[in-house]
Amino acid sequence: MQESSPTALIIETTTTEEYPIDFLGDAADLVYFLSFTHAERHGSDHPFTRAAGIIKRRFWLNLSPLLTFGDARPESPPEERTLESLCQEAAPLSECAWQVQVAEAIEGNRELSDMVAWAA
């Protein structure tokens, strides 16, 4: 297992199978992308937010299942309740997570590539 950065993606599962996720490295950029994707509804103009908007609207990819997340270290009772309520069905999340079209959309579109290039 790789050492994680201060910003880490933690996925909890109830499966008894071997841990099914392998991100092939540090997933901090994915956490940032998902956070800025979530921030779109609040008017964010970050390049990740704009890239997510293009992915959702131009390529018709549903990113909603990836936007159900919270802080792994809640600092208040309301945050603890939120964290406990984040459980979701595996199928829609898995389908969304495995949509290789997201990576292909970014790699095949100059505008998207430029928006996310600085994070690489």
Q: What is the pLDDT of residues 58-76, one digit of tens each?
A: 878 888 888 888 788 889 9
**Identity of the residue numbered 111:** E
- Whether residue 1 is predicted with pLDDT greater than 50 in this model: the reply is no
Taking each helix axis from N to C end, the angle separating 28-38 and 47-58, rounded to the nearest 10 degrees, works out to 70
Name which residue leads in pLDDT, 36 or 87.
Answer: 36
> Model confidence at 77, in pLDDT bands (50, 70, 90)?
very high
Name the pTM for this structure.
Answer: 0.65
Residues 6 or more apart in contact with residue 102 via CB below 8 angstroms: 55, 59, 61, 63
